[in-house]
Amino acid sequence: MNSYKLSFIVLSFTFAVSVTQGQGTFQNLNFELAEPGPLTTTTGYPFPYAVNVPVANALPDWSVYYGTVQQMDVNYNDPGLGSTLVTLVGGTWPAIDGNYSVLLQGGGTASAASISQSATIPSGMQSLLFEAQSGAGTLNILVGTQIVSFAAVGTEPNYTLYGANISEWAGDPEQITFSALEDLSRANNWTIDDITFSPNAVPEPSIVALGAIGGLLFGARKWFARR
């Protein structure tokens, strides 16, 4: 078997296994504890929605901020065009996985749309993984006040799997924040889901890129061989 193809299979298996690992004292990392309550249906709008849903119901265990201002409510399936918002999505609005995902909109009404949770990162973990559908703008991940870089480590038809190195905080109580930054073009939309910790290291971007190039070369060689 081609070595690059084998590396992709191993990489995919490694990260699939890693999502089963412990989450320390963090809770509701897949957003499935949401209880958005009664929904409204409006003619011409494709998704049943709710407004002013308490954060405690929509996003249990998480805190929501627009800029530095903590929010007590979010919407469900009702994003505002151009606004900086955190929105729970699900039901007829397809979630990435399960019943619910979270949409972070870095619009023009605050410096960022953020969700945060403070808990203990499980010991022995090296990576923070999450699934996302991304727009054109910037997403920051912070451990405490430190921004950590992240990279794509896999793709599926409806999301990209990203990973960040959090090994230096393993075993520590920390605040983790996902923050979509202000974007006056209104294109900074990040839908995220299935946040998890992994004992496996995030591959260096160069390794991922090398594997992708190898996969392309492998496919090209097969294509030319058939001609």
Q: Which tokens go with 8? A: 């992709």
pTM of the model: 0.81
Q: What is the pLDDT of residue 23?
A: 84
114 has which bridge partners? 65, 179
Which residue, among 160, 171, 214, 172, has the nearest Cα to 15 in the 3D structure? 160
Predicted confidence (pLDDT) per residue in 54-81, tens digit: 999 999 999 999 999 999 999 999 988 8
List the domains of the chain with CATH numbers: 23-202 (2.60.120)
Q: Which residues are within 8 A (CB) of 164 and not within 5 positions of it... i.e. 6 or more apart?
A: 127, 128, 141, 148, 149, 150, 151, 202
| Res 2 pLDDT > 80 | no
Using the predicted structure, report yes or no on whether residue 13 has a pLDDT greater than 80.
no
